[in-house]
Amino acid sequence: MREVAILEIGQVPVSENWDKSLLELAGEPVLQIFEKTGLTSLDSVFVGNMMSGSANHQLHLGAYIADWIGAQNASAVHVEAACSSGAAAFRAALMAVASGDVDSAIAVGVEKMTDSPAPEITAELATAADADYERDMGATFVALNALLMRRYMEEYGWQKDAFAGFSVNAHANGVHNPNARFRSAITRETYLKAGMVCDPINVMDAAGIGDGAAAALLVPLEKVRGLAQAIRVAGSAAATDTIAVADRRDPLWLSAAEKSAKAAYTQAEVTPDDIDLFELHDAFTIIETLSLEASGFAERGRGPELAADGAIAPTGRIPLVTMGGLKARGHPVGATGLYQIAEAVMQLRGVCGAVQVPDARIAMTQNIGGSGSNVFTHILRKQ
């Protein structure tokens, strides 16, 4: 397996981008990469997107976007894994370069959600769940996560305020990210008084959607060895779990997160202690908690302890969502996995200013599809 590096990244602010078409949105981070690298030809394009077929009446995004960005005759496909579509596209691009089949691959994640009415988007998001046993029963994603959170609180004896620190941290970091949708700091008070979405999940537990796009250019490591801005992909692993939460023996244990994290650690020859920052999938504070436990950063049932002191701040022991995460940056679903990669690359390049993790050398990202049904873990390293 040939080693692979990320040569460059691009991203656009997550927002309500009503003035941009799906193409313009997807093209922008790629054109940033072309401009920064002077790249003029490209072997392949991998597009991460979940719902453009229904939300934008456009499928075939591989060819569609390759055409728009001028990637003449490049191979191009669309990869979908619900909210983990971005990381799935990144990993497919990685495999193509690692196999030796191509020497350059763009992975671009894009999602344009705010043109559609909220009930439609909620229904479309639910196509990531089990159509027969979850979606048709009215179990939206927030409902499924509310059930998980309630059960977690009951099983391990936590009160709601224990989760506040996760949300406060995300917003504190997002303030400094020009690409974040929600750039205002919040207090514990804000969290505790936030409107309820689906008890016990309130507005501050849940990531907001948005329109966005982010991209990464992957090349063989041997071609960029020694180049400071090129970041090595040291680990990449994916695993699945049952599609329906009710089918799991232990719904509070994300076995796909455990499996993919462990495989990524083995590949990168690291342990959780070596990770300098973790861009995790904080779609809901409960999923953040379960991800931390399954990935080996906290004991089972003790994830919220991490949110209690400064451990997850950029200067803490295990910095989380250093650019705001899904919560404050926003969660344009198919793009999220690529935003995480872009943010991890920026940290390893040391260009994150006020939220820079001191001496960051190893970063981990984790992108989750469905209620823990599909988990992609990546470990990136400075060369």
Catalytic site residues? 83, 331
Using rule CB under 8 A, residue 243 touches a second copy:
yes
DSSP output for 115-179: TS-HHHHHHHHGGGS-TTTTGGGT--HHHHHHHHHHHHHHHHT--GGGGHHHHHHHHHHHTT-TT
Report residue 257 CA to chain centroid gap.
13
- Decide the pairing of beta strands 201-202 and 196-198: antiparallel
Using rule CB under 8 A, residue 81 touches a second copy:
yes
Q: For residue 53, what are its two tokens?
A: 């077929």
Using rule CB under 8 A, residue 331 touches a second copy:
no
Report which of 343, 364, 298 is spatially closest to residue 156, judged by C-alpha positions.
Answer: 298
Report which of 364, 347, 358, 284 is spatially closest to residue 316, judged by C-alpha positions.
Answer: 358
Give the residue with the Cβ less far from a second copy, 233 or 311: 233
For residues 16 and 151, give the distance between their C-alpha atoms in angstroms, rounded to a whole number: 34
Give the residue with the Cβ less far from a second copy, 202 or 377: 377
* Contact region with a second copy (CB under 8 A), list: 144-152, 167-175, 256-264, 316-324: 256-264
- Whole-number minimum distance, CB 347 to a second copy, in Å? 25
Residues 165-184, mask of contacts with a second copy (x by CB under 8 A): --------------------
- Whole-number minimum distance, CB 353 to a second copy, in Å? 35
- Whole-number minimum distance, CB 103 to a second copy, in Å? 12
Give the residue with the Cβ less far from a second copy, 204 or 219: 219
Say whether 360 sits in a helix, a strand or coil: coil
Angle at 273 between CA 280 and CA 371, to 5 degrees: 25
Quick one: which H or E segment has residue 5?
Answer: strand 4-11
Phi and psi at 7, nearest 5°, equal -85, -40
Among 121, 128, 344, 355, binds a second copy (CB under 8 A): 128
Using rule CB under 8 A, residue 259 touches a second copy:
yes
Give the residue with the Cβ less far from a second copy, 31 or 123: 123
For residues 269 and 290, give the distance between their C-alpha atoms in angstroms, rounded to a whole number: 23
Give the residue with the Cβ less far from a second copy, 100 or 310: 100
Using rule CB under 8 A, residue 73 touches a second copy:
yes
- Whole-number minimum distance, CB 356 to a second copy, in Å? 32
345, 348, 353, 357 alpha-carbon torsion, rounded to 10°: 120
Using rule CB under 8 A, residue 237 touches a second copy:
yes
Using rule CB under 8 A, residue 79 touches a second copy:
yes
Give the residue with the Cβ less far from a second copy, 108 or 186: 108
| Window 202 to 231, contacts with a second copy (CB under 8 A) | none
| Window 106 to 125, contacts with a second copy (CB under 8 A) | 124
What's the Cα-to-Cα distance from 365 to each of 21, 248, 249, rounded to whole Å? Answer: 28, 24, 26
| Window 9 to 38, contacts with a second copy (CB under 8 A) | 21
- Binding positions for a second copy, rule: CB under 8 A: 1-2, 21, 44-45, 50-51, 53-54, 56-64, 66-67, 71, 73-82, 88, 91-92, 95-96, 98-101, 124, 127-132, 135, 236-244, 247, 255-256, 259-260, 369-370, 373-374
